[in-house]
Amino acid sequence: KAGVTQTPRYLIKTRGQQVTLSCSPISGHRSVSWYQQTPGQGLQFLFEYFSETQRNKGNFPGRFSGRQFSNSRSEMNVSTLELGDSALYLCASSSTGGRTEAFFGQGTRLTVV
């Protein structure tokens, strides 16, 4: 079956702009988590959605937001971009979240200039 699909793969944005990233989970998976990965901080948890509900949120400013649709696809939005937001953004899907294996997409590489 198809894996986790993230679009776009690469993005270049200017400071102050906003960006929306998309994640399509594996068919049948209802949990989608988002992570930010940088060389200095590693993988940092952003938020987790299950059946259109956010069940947990990491320690990121309110500029980072997300949502999940009825078909389990998820989007995350970053407003008022800062240089420090440059990172690889990964989404992971699992059947229930928590106790089950998570499958990662290839990520979206965001560069803020």
Partner 1 sequence: GQNIDQPTEMTATEGAIVQINCTYQTSGFNGLFWYQQHAGEAPTFLSYNVLDGLEEKGRFSSFLSRSKGYSYLLLKELQMKDSASYLCAPGSNDYKLSFGAGTTVTVRA
Of the candidates 5, 8, 7, 97, the residue with the CA atom closest to the CA atom of residue 45:
97
CB of 90 to partner 1, least distance (A): 6
Residues that bind partner 1 (CB under 8 A): 31, 33, 35, 42-43, 45, 48, 50, 55-56, 58, 90, 92, 97-99, 101-107
Residue closer to partner 1 (CB basis): 42 or 84: 42
Output 22 or 79, the one with its CB closest to partner 1: 22
Sole residue written with tokens 């988590």:
33
Question: 95: exposed, middle or buried (C-beta count within 10 Å: 0-12, 13-18, 19+)?
Answer: middle
Q: Report d(CA 58, CA 97) in Å as an integer.
A: 15
Taking the complex as a whole, the smallest distance from the CB of residue 33 to partner 1 amounts, in Å, to 7
Omega into 25 within 30° of 0, i.e. cis? no
- Nearer to partner 1 by C-beta: 37 or 65? 37
Closest contact distance (angstroms) between CB of 37 and partner 1 is 9
